[in-house]
Amino acid sequence: MDRYAVLGFPVGHSMSPFIHLQFAEQTAQQLSYEALEVKPEAFDKAITDFFQSGGKGVNCTVPLKELAFEKADQLTERAKFSGAVNTLKLMQDGSLLGDNTDGIGLITDLLENLSLSLQGKRILVLGAGGAARGILGPLLEANPSELWLANRTIAKAQRLAKIFSSKGPVRISNYEELAGERFDLVINATSSSLSGSVPPLPKSILSKNAVCYDLAYSQQTTAFTAWGKEQGAALSVDGLGMLVEQAAQAFYIWRGVMPETKKVLNKIRRG
């Protein structure tokens, strides 16, 4: 039986094993999928051991995505832009292919599950870390009227804007300078929700019928989705849909079969 896994630290909370085993059952694929807790300093050995023992592919989560990027022998274009890898696949020649499915997972959730249109919209991304880097390319390709990137440290945001300049312009701002602006979609790519906080945003930055989207997901309402509701967003959601959609893309890379995501997403939401 082909073996797959998600690697991270911590990783006990991961829904990936449930999601991928649902996909496998749905598509009649024979495979196993487990969660392996791996500290960054043990990553290299863990990857080598996993693939030498018959493993076929892994997902990598925080804080291992940049290490997976370095471990890959070849990278997809979106992985190169992301500077991080969340999916590794063992190729027939023994090399490792690295991909990043986070961005396409987000776009699929926004367009298909939530039925949103991004073309011509003003989009604001909060945070300039690895999570933001994984989604900027696909967001620019969705042809918004403006894409803003806000971060406490302007220099860090400027570096990201430069990386993605070939795909389109990214406007840079700190949080205070957002006062007076209005956005149709605000995406929280910071880790603030994990600590129950929200970036220091000015009030009234949401346009009419605006959507707030938190890349983090939780069985409880995240701090950012709660903020969005308080600010009058027409829709304020967490990143569970993105999680399922990026997993489906990884499953397709490994198995060549695209699973149906809505049934799995609904099952998780029902608990």
Distance (Å, whole) CA 105 – CA 247: 8
Tell me: cis bond preceding 63? Omega within 30 of 0 counts.
yes
Instruction: List, as one string, the DSSP characters of 95-136.
Output: -EEEE--HHHHHHHIIIIIS----TT-EEEEE--SHHHHHHH
Distance (Å, whole) CA 148 – CA 140: 10
Q: Which residue has the tokens 């860090």?
A: 156
263 catalytic, yes or no?
Answer: no
Beta bridge partners of 35: 6
Question: Which position among 65, 71, 89, 121 bears the catalytic label?
Answer: 65
Tell me: cis bond preceding 10? Omega within 30 of 0 counts.
yes
Report the 10 Å Cβ neighbour count for 48.
11
Residues annotated as catalytic (active site), given as ranges: 65
